[in-house]
Amino acid sequence: MSVNYALTTAGEPMREVPKSTLHDEALDKAKCREAVESALSQPEPQEAFDRHAWLEKTKDQLKRHASANQ
């Protein structure tokens, strides 16, 4: 059994993604268009979500909550 791999720009192998089982004809084009227009009507965020800052803030809140309950 042979598997073909493409390499990323970093030289790492990319895994093969299976093809979609949903055919284009099965999509409700009106609903898709409505969803896209709704997404495009909202402004883009000014900055990206910083998950490290969120995690630190959440940990800090949990520590304060735990110490208040003791």
Comparison of pLDDT for 19 and 51, the residue scoring more: 51
pLDDT at residue 69, rounded to an integer: 78
pTM (2 decimals)?
0.33
Q: For the residues 57-61, what does the mean pLDDT come to?
A: 91
- Predicted local distance difference test score (pLDDT) of residue 3: 47
Confidence at 14, pLDDT banded by 50, 70, 90: low
Residue 10 has pLDDT above 70, yes or no: no
Task: Please state, in angstroms and as integers, the Cα–Cα distance from residue 61 to each residue in 44, 51, 52, 55, following that order.
Answer: 28, 15, 14, 10
